[in-house]
């Protein structure tokens, strides 16, 4: 089950965000595919910052964020920052609890 709340919260919190490019949309679809089973949802919070929702297993997800920075260009995306957040806290508490973060540039 995909958690669309992450996308909804992002849209409400930012208001005037430029529409994602086709490459950004394609990267989100890739992340939400079976190719990346850890990812439950993802959304561009700004033009170059990507939030990725996963289930918190207690581990630091900085390495996963760094990995996503490395594969993003393969899909035509070039995020400046990727933040991994606890999708359960997004759904239950409307909070973005950071599990890991990487700066891609």
Q: What is the pLDDT of residues 71-91, one digit of tens each?
A: 999 999 999 999 999 999 999
Task: Tell me how far apart the alpha carbons of residues 1 and 12 are, in angstroms, rounded to a whole number.
Answer: 22
Residues 6+ apart with CB under 8 A from 4: 41
Give the residue extent of every domain in the chain: 5-103
Quote the distance between the C-alpha of residue 7 and its chain's center.
Answer: 9
Burial class (CB in 10 A: 0-12, 13-18, 19+), 69: buried
pLDDT tens-place string over residues 2-51 = 455 554 555 445 455 678 999 999 999 999 999 999 999 999 999 999 99
Would you tell me which CATH number, out of the four given (3.40.640.10, 3.40.50.410, 3.40.630.10, 3.30.300.300), belongs to the domain 5-103?
3.30.300.300
pTM, two decimal places: 0.83
Give the mean model confidence (pLDDT) for residues 47-61. Answer: 96
The total of other beta-carbon atoms located within 10 Å of residue 68's CB is 25
């Amino acid at each position: 089950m995909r958690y669309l709340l992450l996308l909804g919260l992002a849209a409400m919190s930012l208001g005037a965000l430029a529409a994602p490019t086709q490459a950004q949309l394609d990267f989100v679809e890739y992340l939400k595919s079976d190719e990346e089973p850890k990812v439950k949802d993802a959304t561009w919070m700004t033009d170059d910052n990507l939030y990725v929702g996963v289930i918190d297993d207690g581990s630091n997800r900085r390495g996963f964020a760094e990995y996503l920075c490395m594969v993003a260009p393969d899909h035509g995306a070039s995020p400046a920052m990727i933040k991994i957040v606890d999708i359960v806290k997004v759904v239950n508490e409307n909070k973005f609890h950071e599990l890991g973060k990487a700066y891609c540039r």
